[in-house]
Chains A and B, each alone.
Chain A
Amino acid sequence: MIEAVELTKSFGAITAVRGVSFQVRRGEAVGFLGPNGAGKTTTFRMLSGTLAPHSGSVRVLGADLFESPLEAKRQLGYMAENAPMYPELTGTHYLHYRAELRGIPRAERAQAVRQAAARAGATEILGQIIGQLSKGYRQRLALSDALLGDPPVLLLDEPTAGLDPNQVLETRRLIRELSADHAIILSTHVLSEVEATCQRAIVIDRGRIVAQGSLDELKRHRGHERGRVQVRGDTQQLEAALQNMNQHGLDARLEATDQISTLEFELLAPGSLTEGVQVCLQAGLQLVQAGTLTAPLDEVFARLTQEHQP
């Protein structure tokens, strides 16, 4: 539904985004993750057609964003970071103006504004002047703007920033609902938000994509999924097994007790416990239980964005 191909953007000598490519299909919400300054907002601005890339292309439902911008942009709902709007207008005036810009026919405009505001929980603030709204309400109004005319592709840059906990939950619920029949890209550095709303995540660091896939795939990414075996045996056997695992490069840790001891180690291939179990058996340990542990997403994120540092 929306496809970015080799997007690259430099600001002077600094390359903010380099060779970013991905696809998001209808029916999925994708988290766009990265530390501050990773290139998330720059990528979003290129995806929304507000910033020219130096190279690369974006296609929205088959329409090239830079060659047929009007056709492509009609399919896009974009909520910019910090939701800049016109402070002198009321919510209703602003949304009517935006609906007209989006080419929604006059007869359908009032209905489109009502629907979008209701979905984003902004109905009660429509009559208020934007300059007097709190940040949370401005965010809701900006979300209503992105939802105007129900575009099939939604680009949401930090949609829950500044919202209170109840509003955050409501917005996440809305994103989950919308993801059933939309393609959504959600930029955030709140990892729990991605876990609560997205099926997939793209991790960007220093302008490059360092990982992408389903949340389970990311957690199972080499080094982010660990094997865990529980064994019975004496200290000598346990020490031998630990040493052997580390010689195989499995980065093992031992938690020894009188009864059942636990060995945790890195998996050489996703889902493969074989090496660790074999080492334990060779050391004469009695196997009680074996399984895998997935790391929490924040740990995966930290490793992914730190391991690519120079």
Chain B
Amino acid sequence: MSVKPMTMLLLLAVFSLASGIAAAQVEDVAVVVSSGNPAANISRSDLRKIFAGMKRSWPSGEPVKLVTRGSGCIERLALLRLLEMSEGEYKQYWTAQIYRGEVDAEPLVIPSIGMQKEALKLFPGAITLVNAADVKPGMKVIKVDGFLPGTPGYPLH
């Protein structure tokens, strides 16, 4: 085998790997709020404060209702990356927040996207994370730092 085919083979291998990795990384997670929520954009910093229970009301005064997915979900992994916590730290953190009296309860854990949608209808201050590819009609997706899911620079994966 000459040098040229070997180089070509290597280039193809790198290309294939790169496209595979890119596909795996482009799993943007959308921030979804109740349809009545006037918010259209949120900063990553505020999003972190909201999901850490440090910011507990919307500018309108409506209390924030956190709706999350269970451990192992793509949305949960994105949440843990946002908060820079492991699953264990996350659980311990919320138990501590409850004992401190900072919050009344842990975030609501929802097992399916259908129930997530229902929770958004039930709680006017609800906010949740949804895998961008799973966003359903009627879900209000808001920008994060001015970016929508799928656009370059979107910070939540």
Partners in one complex: no
Task: List chain A positions with a Cβ less than 8 A from chain B.
Answer: none
Task: List chain B positions with a Cβ less than 8 A from chain A.
Answer: none
